[in-house]
Amino acid sequence: MKSQDMQVIGLCRFSYPAYGGFQVGHETLEERRAYLYAPERIEERFRSFEALTLPGIKAQTDPNFQFLIAIGMCMPDEYQERLFALVEDIPQAIIVPWPSERHRPAMQRIINTHRIETDLPTIQFRQDDDDAVAVNFVERLREAVDDCAPLIAKNEMMTVDFNRGFSARASSAGLEITPSVLQYYGVALAMVVQPSVRKSIMNFSHTKMNHAMPSVTFTDQEMYIRGHGAFNDSRQKSNVTRLDFQPMSKEDEALIKDLFAIDNARVREIYSDG
């Protein structure tokens, strides 16, 4: 059972209007759609997706994976066209328009619809549209699966968690960052799923995955960037911890470009109103 033969599937929700799944509450689905597709908010999502998320996906050292981008079937045409244009040169990216449904079952169905039926486990990861993974993330995932083969063989599911990275804030001045070591953070987090299991990584709260299955944590490399912006769903509450972001030095810029393929000059350009 070698990981090189296993399917790797990533899932990213891009303003998908689900029933549930948001910490920001709305009375009706129409209110949620209006919130998600409001021009100021959707512009930030496009900026973060282009500046932070896509560079590392495009530059993966192991290109053998799928990156599913879940969107609402009701997304306005102009935004759909813009999104398709952003990923047209990334063969792993698959935009999946989906009707508005309950959040976790919908994400489970999207992942399972794209699973290839084999007798091998599937490796699944989740990623928000303002987060980044290191360019060797898929490669390291496969290494972890090979290292943990006996544990995987004994369990229906197993979590692989890379807990070291950065939090970052992007603007026309570029990225500001702060180091981060947090377990089950929701980015650079994966699950190995046996073929008989239909549950997906999206069936579980990322903070509680170790409550439901064995987990293995790796902390040797910065493997993620967690984006912080004005419209982050998880940061709309008043009691959110404020982080000490600092401008990047030239050494930081070189490190971020090497690890995540993120060019700070391009970040400044994307976030510039000009």
d(CA 161, CA 102): 26
Identify the residue whose tokens are 């989740």: 126
Q: Which two tokens stand for residue 8?
A: 């790797």
pLDDT digits (tens, 9 = 90+) for 163-217: 999 999 999 999 999 999 999 999 999 999 999 999 999 999 999 999 999 999 9
Q: If you ran DSSP here, which 8-state letter would residue 11 be given? A: E
**pLDDT(24) > 70:** no
Check whether 153 has a pLDDT greater than 50. Answer: yes
Q: Which residue has the higher pLDDT, 180 or 25?
A: 180
Strand 93-98: give its sheet, edge to edge: 93-98, 66-72, 7-13, 122-126, 189-193, 157-162, 215-218
Maximal CA-CA distance, the chain: 56
Please state, in angstroms and rounded to a whole number, the distance separating the CA atoms of residues 50 and 86.
Answer: 7
The pTM (predicted TM-score) of the whole model is: 0.92
Confidence bin at 28 (pLDDT 50/70/90):
confident
Tens digit of each residue's pLDDT (9 = 90 or more) over 224-270 = 999 997 544 444 444 456 789 999 999 999 999 999 999 999 999 99
Q: Are 143 and 28 in contact (CB under 8 A)?
A: no
